[in-house]
Amino acid sequence: MTFSFDAYVTAALFDRHGRACFALGDGTVRFEDGATAQAHKGVALSACAHPSGEGVITGGDDGVVAWSRGETVSEIAKVPGRWIESVAASPESKLIAFAAGKELHVRDAGDPAFSRVFVHEKSVADVAFDPKGRRIATATYNGAWLWYARIAEQKPMVLKWAGSHVALAWSPDGKFLMSSMQENQLHGWRVADEKNLKMGGYPAKVKSLAFLYKGQMLATSGANGAVIWPFSGSAGPLGKQAAEIGFDESAMVNRVAATPVGNRVAAGLDDGRVWVCDLTDQKIDMLKAEKGPPISALAMTADGKRVAWGDEEGGAGVFEVA
């Protein structure tokens, strides 16, 4: 199944019913069943699944955080004059978080009156809930800040590392926080003792991170193949070497997606191709062999049986994986 949306595909994701959803540069959210929601007056800059699993939360350059369910749109929050470049939600705590300039905002999906705002020294590039949904990490300049989501007055825990941090991923056990940087570098911390995990050697920026196999592995973009880091043991990847799957010197991996429990990983390339691999046998299955605009969005269902992709010029599709 393929689509032509004529707008940059900001994000692809699946709701709890396994339905593919796409957030677009024209401010709409499109669903694979044909439903369209006009979520923003401008561009949809970020997206995540709603804590309930129903529909999509998006952040726009109009300062709006919207919840789209089919053709129905509800406004969760509005910060006039700000771009909402990152949104996150926790099914466990039912909380929603988003970044607006230097501010981290928190809302409760079940309590419209609940609101928290945490201010940073520099702009916030990304937000991510820990596995229990109690703490929120923010990516900012010179490190990551950790906040308790519901506590109004607090000082954050600051995980320091020089440079601009742009995207975050928690390990499923909450022990490690990983950050991609503006430089061609992946960094991380063992949260308990703030131990630094410096993971360089990338030929390009790491735009996408995905844990798989119950947190025993981390897949990233930023190379000619999908880079797979081992995370078994208390030290995580410390002292270990990464593997590179699907190496192709003619292309770079832009996006990765993976099964949280299983060992299947998908990759979207900068030449428009998409593949999936089961790490058990490392066999590459090319889902989209024809080349085209760079892949800008990629998602996989938890069971690894469906993959959704989108590209920079509005092409998109959904694959059924054997």
The rounded mean pLDDT for the chain is 96
End-to-end CA distance of the chain: give it in Å, rounded. Answer: 15
Domains of the chain: 202-322 (2.130.10.10)
Whether 232 has a pLDDT exceeding 90, the answer reads no
Stretch among 7-11, 43-47, 198-202, 298-302 having the lowest mean pLDDT: 198-202
Predicted confidence at residue 201, as pLDDT, reads: 87
Whether 184 has a pLDDT exceeding 90, the answer reads yes
Of 179, 114, 126, 100, the closest CA to residue 151 belongs to 114
Q: Which two tokens stand for residue 212?
A: 């798989």
Whether 269 has a pLDDT exceeding 90, the answer reads yes
Residue positions counted in the chain: 322
Whether 237 has a pLDDT exceeding 90, the answer reads no
Of 133, 157, 131, 153, the closest CA to residue 143 belongs to 157
In whole angstroms, give the CA distance from residue 221 to residue 30: 25
In whole angstroms, give the CA distance from residue 215 to residue 170: 9
* pLDDT tens figures, 72-125: 999 999 999 999 999 999 999 999 999 999 999 999 999 999 999 999 999 999
In whole angstroms, give the CA distance from residue 281 to residue 178: 27
Confidence at 235, pLDDT banded by 50, 70, 90 = confident
Percent of the chain's residues with pLDDT above 70:
100
* pLDDT tens figures, 124-166: 999 999 999 999 999 999 999 999 999 999 999 999 999 999 9
Predicted confidence at residue 131, as pLDDT, reads: 97
Instruction: Kindly tell me the burial class for residue 260, based on how many C-beta atoms sit within 10 Å of its own C-beta (0-12, 13-18, 19 or more).
Output: middle
Of 279, 277, 272, 234, the closest CA to residue 254 belongs to 272
Confidence at 233, pLDDT banded by 50, 70, 90 = confident
In whole angstroms, give the CA distance from residue 179 to residue 164: 10
3-state SS, residue 272:
coil
3-state SS, residue 146:
strand
In whole angstroms, give the CA distance from residue 268 to residue 80: 34
β-bridge pairing 72-78 and 86-90:
unpaired
Of 69, 78, 61, the closest CA to residue 24 belongs to 61
